[in-house]
Structure 1
């Protein structure tokens, strides 16, 4: 399970809307869940989408990703996962999303904008390029 603070959930949706019709992306930071506890997102880092075709693909700028990781660690936080948007696509990982996943055990969040915004999350198991859908929650406190 992954939980967002209200502010971080709203930030992901706002970033997706602002970037439409291109896909947007970023890094999710907070506290990684252990022993069945949920991961909690307390901060988002917007990154540039450097994909060759940003309307249908995403690729987090590697330098921005490294900066986000260093900032998180400098603040005593963990990388919880990554997010991107699907402006007109399904609210689930595409074959390309699955093929490019590189962080086993981390959450890959997708904000789909087709209709009402839907935020879903999948955790990459690292086995056979398999993702498992996870529950998304929103906390009203920080």
Structure 2
């Protein structure tokens, strides 16, 4: 499976990671039918934001309400690894839900995509599209 990701999403998550450093940034990936068209930043409410991320539950609830009202779907999540690599960490794996959603991990100025499966994270192929 290949997911389409808008170039604006890539630019947003890279900018958010740079802005948040040295803390981890996080947010939501929104879109429809296998295309991520929006990256919506959310507050990192983790007790230790330099080491972990936790998406503000209010932001997550708001996106679910919008989707039920016909807005974009929650395709997945993003966060940064300010001093790491763009692959799931041991902590990410411990907190994975197996919900089959996409995860974008930002590190070193790049973004990698992963699928949160019931068998753990799997690389998720993506193609960048305009806008």
TM beyond 0.5 = yes
Q: Over the residues paired in the alignment, what is the CA RMSD in angstroms?
A: 1.4
Matched with 2:90 is 95
Query: Take 1:107 and 1:50, find their aligned partners in 2: how far apart are those partners?
Result: 21
Query: Take 1:119 and 1:67, find their aligned partners in 2: how far apart are those partners?
Result: 25
Which structure 2 segments of 5+ residues have no match? none
* Conserved? CA contact 1:91–1:111, under 8 Å: yes
Correspondence 1:68 to 2:63: yes
> How many aligned residue pairs are there?
130
Which of residues 106, 109, 112 in structure 2 aligns to 1:120? 112
Matched with 1:35 is none
Q: Give the C-alpha shift of residue 10 in structure 1.
A: 0.6
Correspondence 1:134 to 2:129: no
Q: Give the C-alpha shift of residue 75 in structure 1.
A: 4.0
Q: Give the C-alpha shift of residue 55 in structure 1.
A: 0.9
Which structure 1 segments of 5+ residues have no match? 33-38
Aligned to 2:19, the other structure's residue is in SS state: helix
